[in-house]
Structure formats: structure tokens, C-alpha cells
Structure 1
Amino acid sequence: MPDIVNTGQSQAWNGPEGTHWARHQDRWNAVNGGFDQPLLDAAGITGEHRILDVGCGSGQTTRRAARRAPRGRALGLDLSAPMLAEARTRAEEQGIGNVSFVQGDAQVYPFEEGAFDAAISRYGVMFFADPITAFGNVRRALRPGGRLAFVCPADAADNGWVTAIASLRGLLPVGDFGTPGLPGMFSLAAPDRIRDILTAAGFTAVTVDRVQAHGVWGHGAEDAAEFLWGTGPGRHLLEQADARARERARRTLTDHLRGHLAADGTVRLLSTSWLVTADRAR
């Protein structure tokens, strides 16, 4: 087993949450894929680059980075064995030979110093137990002049799936979305915190830019609602309610999502994120 210090997140992503994401990787890529091109453009990947994908999940961004660097290589790192298994399968099916995947904790993984030209992450860096140490370890893995680029959620209220869940207040025990300073989806929602962490980790030239993309959550309101109920937050809320409250909540969420139907019948929700870049000093 790899050395893991972020045990809480490891248990989650090797349990039901990781299994859900692995099983539904195409749907999650439909939700988040609108950020792939801005992320890879910001990383400045070229033909011979060596790329590290932190929190790579089922590997879509790793594979796309590898395609941009046909004479280089890409390594995807993640805590989740179920998602990594899917990542390896997809890479093999797509014939991408310059990509590999490894299970590990970015905070302590023994990267070779200066082994990568770029490090990227799409929604994979918000869950560090010790973000300064983790980002410092990633910085060490970059060559002098190497670039870090990642996408992380901005304020919860600016994300459509949060608004959808918030519509259930009064029916289910919907609380706040994340606690500042603790690992979680919105742990890096404050730009000043991002800058402070990356500076403390030794990065320079930190930029934080607001980016938005519409993600496809389902084909029809009922389908999108069932998908949301299958996520970690959705399952957690349903487990705390009785049958009557669950039924009312299902109807309410489905009605809310009908307001986001596109002309093609898909449910599209707006995601608002930070596109962050930083450099390892030369």
C-alpha cells in the first residue's frame, strides 16, 4: 500500500464515493469537462512536457494532457483505487501509451525532484489534510520554472448544483457547504487563502482568475435529480430523512431542475471556479 497520511479522504475515495465517481466517470466528465481546455491552456503544455495530474480521478485530464505532449509523458496521481482502475482501462482502450497512473497521497508521495514540467489538477486539490505541505511537495516535483495550474470551486452560492441542493432547505437538513480551513469541496473558495497557501508552499507568480462553464447533469430533470441523489451530499441528506420527507424532497429537486432544461432536453447547471496558476522559481 502507498504511504497515506490523509486517511479520512482515502477512506471516502476508496469507499462509496470513489466507486460512484468511477462508475459514473462519463457523467462527471460531462459536468466538469468545460474546464479542461482552460486548465490545459493555462498549464502551457507542449509536445515534450512531463505532466503531473494531482487528484486525477478517472484520468480524463491526464489523458488529454498526454495527447498534448505526444513526445512527453503524463502521470496521474490519486488516492482512489476504483477511479485509477477506470483511468488505466480508458487509457488502454484509447491507445494512449505515454500516460500512467499511481495511487498515492500528494502530501507525502516521493516524487523525484524536478521530474515534471507542469502540474495540473481539475478539482483534485481541495481535500489535502495539510495543503501547504502538499503543495510544497508538488512544487518540489516541478523543475525550476515549472508551472502549476489547477481549477477549484469558487463560492458555493455561485455553483448551480449547490443552489439546487439549497432548494431543499426546510425539507432536509441542508447545512453549509464546507468549513473554511478544513478539507472539502470549497476549502479553497477564498482567493486570498489560495495565494497565502501557495506562497507559503514556495510558489511565485500566483494568479487566480474566475472561470465559468455549464455542465450537463442529466437528460431530463428526473435523470439529473437521480444523479444528484447518488452523489455524496445527496446520499447524506436522504439518509437523515424519513420516507415522507424524502419523497417531497425528490419532487422539489426535480421541479427545480426543470428550470434548467436546455433546448436539447439536457439539464445544464453553471459552475463557477478559480483557475489558478503559479510557478516554481527558477
Structure 2
Amino acid sequence: MDTKALKKQMGAAIAMVLVAAVALGSATFAWFVSNNTVKATTTNISAQSNSAYLVIDNADAGSTKTTSTGSATASETFDADTKLYPAQWKRNFDNTGNKAASEADGVWQFESAYAKDKAKPDEKDDTRFAVGNPETAATKDYTLANTFYIGTGTYDGTFTNLKVTGVEINNTSNSKLDSAMRVLVMCDNEWAVWSKAGKESSSNTNGIIKADGIAKNKDATVKVYVYYDGADSEVYTTNLENIAKDCGVTVTFEATPTEFK
């Protein structure tokens, strides 16, 4: 492709990619009231690109390629017996798991707790504890983890200001569980937490998870963690029958193209 055509393609104000990540076919309990049989599965993980040069691929690909300009599809299935415990992304503890003197002194990580009553989502006092960083939380079944690569697919051109601009809960079963689903998206040390209502928190107020550096052979490695918020009003043990439905998420990323030189 000649330089003039490439410039034209890169001149769009925003390039967007969609990630359909993590379909959860399970139930969860509020905190730890009676939780030993819940299941979590993820299937039909897919990714597609709406731009000729900002592209996305899945973990199995290892990086973006020229073939990533169309769409990439993968299927990943977690053990059907995997328990998915409720959690929250907070900073009430330090990096050793001890209670921090204040929230400002804490380290962002996953936390969990026990509930007061099986019919309510209320947290029992003084039962909150640190789970750990996202990878640790995934290992301990507090979240499901997926990796995607966002880049130029070996084409020339660069992008900046990569961020999440939307999270859609694919609730095909009229499940009340969709209000409890949260998505933590990370790129290196930057992150953003989203629910179906919008962005809840982020390391940067503007929500940017990678400011620059997306270029030829320099992909952004994006980690997507899907989990249940144990404090959600619909998540409690006796409501299990109503929330045990399939849900999935679609995460929308946007980045700004820079002028090709």
C-alpha cells in the first residue's frame, strides 16, 4: 500500500476495536455465605477490528499480524467446576495483605469478605481481606483472565491514548446477574474498572490505559479480568435461582492515530 493511501486510512479521528470477552455461565453467592459449587465458563472469546490499522488478536496469536485486520476468533473454556468467588477492586490493604492505615496508603488489588446474612448482600464487619493482584485473583478463582494484543498488525503507523470507551453486558437470558458483573482492563500498570453503567474507577482520570507507543511490532498487551461484585444488591445466596444465567461482556477500545511519517 502506498504512503498516500496509508495516510488516508490513518486520518480517522478515532479507531475502535471491539473485544467480546468472557461469557460467564454460572451463579455466584454474596461474599462467602455458602459458596462451594458455583461454576464459571468462558467460551467463544472473539475480537474484531473496525480499522485497517488498529487491530486486535487473542492470546494464542502472541501478537497482532496482517491477518488480524479482519477478525480474530478463539475459544477458551475454563474448568466447569471452577468456583468464582465474589470480589472487589479496592485498596484497603498494603502489598503484604495487612490493613492499610488509610485508603491512600493501600495498594490496588482484589479484596473479598463474608456476608452478614444469606438473604442480604450486606458485608459482615471486620471480615474483609486481601486476595491479591489480578493474576493471583485469577489463580484463586476470584476472576477470569484473558489476554489480547492491540497493535497495527505489522503495518506502519502509530496510535496513542488507548482507552476503554464502553462495556456491554450481553445478557441474553434476562439475568439479574448483569448488574454484578465488573470488568477490570489493564495495560502494564494502568487500569480501568467498568460495569454496564459505565466507568467506575481508573488509574488515570481520563481512562487512558496506554498513552503512546502502539506502533509497528509494538503491540499493547491488554489484560481483561471479569468478576462479580459481591456488594451488588442482586448478589446474595437466596437469590441464586434468579441470577444463575449466562452473561458475557463486550469491551470497546479506542485509540487516536498519529500522522504517518
TM-score, normalising length from structure 2?
0.21
**Which has the larger share of strand?**
2
Higher relative contact order (CA 8 A, sep 6+): 2
